[in-house]
Amino acid sequence: MPATIHNDVIVYKGSNFLRQRLLLSTLSGRSVRIEDIRSTHDDPGLREYEVNLIRLLDKITNGTRVELSETGTSLYFQPGILIGGQLTHTCCTQRGIGYYLEVLLALGPFCKEPLNAVLQGVTHHDLDVSVDKLKAAALPVLLKFILVDDGLELKIVRRGAPPLGGGEVVFKCPVRRSLRPLQCSKWGLVKRIRGVVYALRVSPTMANRVVESAKGVMLNFLPDVYLNTDQCRGSNAGKSPGFGISLVAETNEKTFYCAEAKSMEPGKGESTLPEDLGAECAKRLLDEIHRGGSVDSSFQWLVALWMALGHKDVSECVVGPLSEYTIKFLQHLKEFFGVMFKLEVIRDDNEESDDEQGPVVQNVKMTCVGIGYVNISRRIL
Amino acid sequence: MAYFDRQSTSRNIMKLVYGEFEVGNKIKENQNEDKENESDEEIGGLFKKVTKSQKSNQKEKEQLDVDECSHFYALDKPNTRDWTKEVNKQVIINNFVTGKRSA
């Protein structure tokens, strides 16, 4: 739904994409008002995890003003100045740490002090990208924009499965004055498959069974498959039982695709067979590889954000088919920063001939001129 | 599946993303047309046909409070193709270093 603007405040309706809106609001310094948050639901207003997100944003900024209506269905958010620095945050267990970490990752380079955040909560969640995926696929993307890696780090201290969580990660991010433009139109061929299988508070054989089936599928395509098992013990295993897998495919152009799967939450109906889980994850990875693009489909929006905020120079990036989330993000980018991307569908001539093999993948070339966003709060020596 | 629908219908990706933002007369014209149409499309004097704008409004309303999720297949889990089948395997085998060089 397109936004309306009243007195310099951008007004939205509905709780969807709250995270995008608050993130862009913080970066652009423009206030937002969000109305009709679940106003027709039985349980109206903001959820706990969304309030938790606002708390986190408040922690890394200075001068943020938030006004919530009595029913919680209307929110006014006036962003402050990004500070960053040391912080510890207990994330809401309704969502994964990934939900919060993605925001920190997007804001990290623009803080005053380098971010050093300790996040506690659920490390693997169905709705959110897991910390393993962020570490494997998102950090290399940021590295392309900042080039020099001085302290970009994501450390998984403890794992925690839903519903109780108990996991902990440490995220460190350096600050930059501005981001470099990105030219990225090739993604090469997949050269190796790596992965992590974790088993929390379940029999260690579960992990081995997952490894076996996932490897079985991947070996059809590539001999270089190596999966680690992470058998967590004691407090390192969090508070709830669960197991899962994340597979990473690395190409010879340093593009990382990542797919993941995890067991069902305890007490939520059917149980998960480890063999099925491994095969499912492998299939998802192959699907991701099939779609291609020089960035994992979950992080298209991050690339779009950093491209738009880069130098006043042309950035270009070819990605796989745009996800629904990215499309919405591009619309939001236009509303907050006035940046419009040029999008072109690239058709592969080789594939066009064989129509029987299902729909052809539509890779999209995104081009834009950065707005020259400068990190004003960063100290210059 | 939104993604598959899009793949078969959409031609212009710019329009897909920024379509509703189009400036100027085009959108206004459409709205006028819609209004005219609304009044005369009654079936049997009893039912009203759902107009395009109403349909998209409905869709937007459904989207309003959906949980936010950045995955590619956000909340719906489609059946992915069985890549181990020989036919499907041929499609992606060249995305690996072990595939054909020229592809």
pLDDT digits 0-9 by tens, A99-135: 999 999 999 999 999 999 999 999 999 889 999 999 9
Phi, psi of A362 (to 5 degrees): -105, 100
- Which residue has tokens 């290399």? A140
CATH of the domain at A343: 3.30.1370
Q: Which residues of A touch B77 (CB under 8 A)?
A: none
CATH of the domain at A126: 3.65.10.20
Q: Which DSSP symbol is given to B24? A: S
Q: How far is B15 from chain A (nearest CA, A)?
A: 9
Instruction: Give yes or no: residues A276 and A261 share one domain.
Output: yes
Instruction: Give yes or no: residues A275 and A298 share one domain.
Output: no
A94 contacts: CB under 8 Å, gap ≥ 6: A47, A48, A49
**What are the residues facing A96 on neighbouring strands?**
A122
Q: Which DSSP symbol is given to B103? A: -
Predicted confidence band of residue B2 (pLDDT cuts 50, 70, 90): low
Neighbours of A320 (CB within 10 A): 24
CB contact under 8 A, B60 and A1: yes
Instruction: Give yes or no: residues A124 and A40 share one domain.
Output: no
Domain that holds residue A136: 83-176
Q: Which residues of A touch B81 (CB under 8 A)?
A: 283, 287, 358
pLDDT at A355: 45
Report the relative pairing of strands B47-48 and A9-13 from DSSP bridges: unpaired
Q: What angle do CA A369, A100, A294 make, to 5 degrees?
A: 40
Scored b (16 or more CB within 10 A) or e, A25-59 reads bbbbebbbbbebbbbeeeeebbbebbbbbbbbbbb
CB contact under 8 A, B96 and A341: no
Instruction: Give yes or no: residues A195 and A286 share one domain.
Output: yes
Last residue of some domain: A26, A53, A80? Answer: A80
Give a yes or no: residue A58 inside a domain. yes
Q: Which residue of B lies nearest to A364 if distances are taken between CA atoms?
A: B13
pLDDT at B27: 47
- Residue A197 token pair: 């299988």
CB contact under 8 A, B71 and A127: yes
Give a yes or no: residue A142 inside a domain. yes
Instruction: Give yes or no: residues A154 and A232 share one domain.
Output: no
Instruction: Give yes or no: residues A166 and A194 share one domain.
Output: no
Flag whether residue A222 sits within 8 Å of chain B, measured between CB atoms: yes
Q: Which residue of B lies nearest to A358 if distances are taken between CA atoms?
A: B88
Instruction: Give yes or no: residues A229 and A242 share one domain.
Output: yes
Instruction: Give yes or no: residues A287 and A195 share one domain.
Output: yes
**Total domains in the fold of chain A:** 4
Residue of A21, A46, A105, A286 for testing the chain B interface, max B β-carbons within 10 Å: A286
pLDDT digits 0-9 by tens, A299-340: 999 999 999 999 899 999 999 999 989 999 999 999 999 999
Does the predicted interface ipTM exceed a cut of 0.85?
no
Whether the Cβ atoms of residue A86 and residue A140 lie closer than 8 Å to each other: no
Instruction: Give yes or no: residues A247 and A332 share one domain.
Output: no
Strand segments, DSSP code E, in chain A are: 4-6, 9-13, 32-35, 61-62, 65-68, 75-78, 81-82, 84-90, 113-121, 153-158, 167-173, 183-184, 190-200, 225-231, 242-251, 256-262, 314-319, 342-346, 363-369
Give a yes or no: residue A185 inside a domain. no
Neighbours of A182 (CB within 10 A): 22
Flag whether residue A342 sits within 8 Å of chain B, measured between CB atoms: yes
CA dihedral sign of residues A344, A345, A346, A349 = negative
Predicted confidence band of residue B20 (pLDDT cuts 50, 70, 90): low
Instruction: Give yes or no: residues A102 and A75 share one domain.
Output: no
Give a yes or no: residue A237 inside a domain. yes
Neighbours of A23 (CB within 10 A): 24
Residue of A16, A17, A330 for testing the chain B interface, max B β-carbons within 10 Å: A16
Give a yes or no: residue A181 inside a domain. no
Last residue of some domain: A56, A80, A104? Answer: A80
Q: Which residues of B touch A297 (CB under 8 A)?
A: 71-72
CATH of the domain at A208: 3.30.360.20
Last residue of some domain: A176, A211, A226? Answer: A176
Which residue, among A293, A202, A300, has the nearest Cα to A249 in the 3D structure? Answer: A293
Q: Which residues of B touch A350 (CB under 8 A)?
A: 103
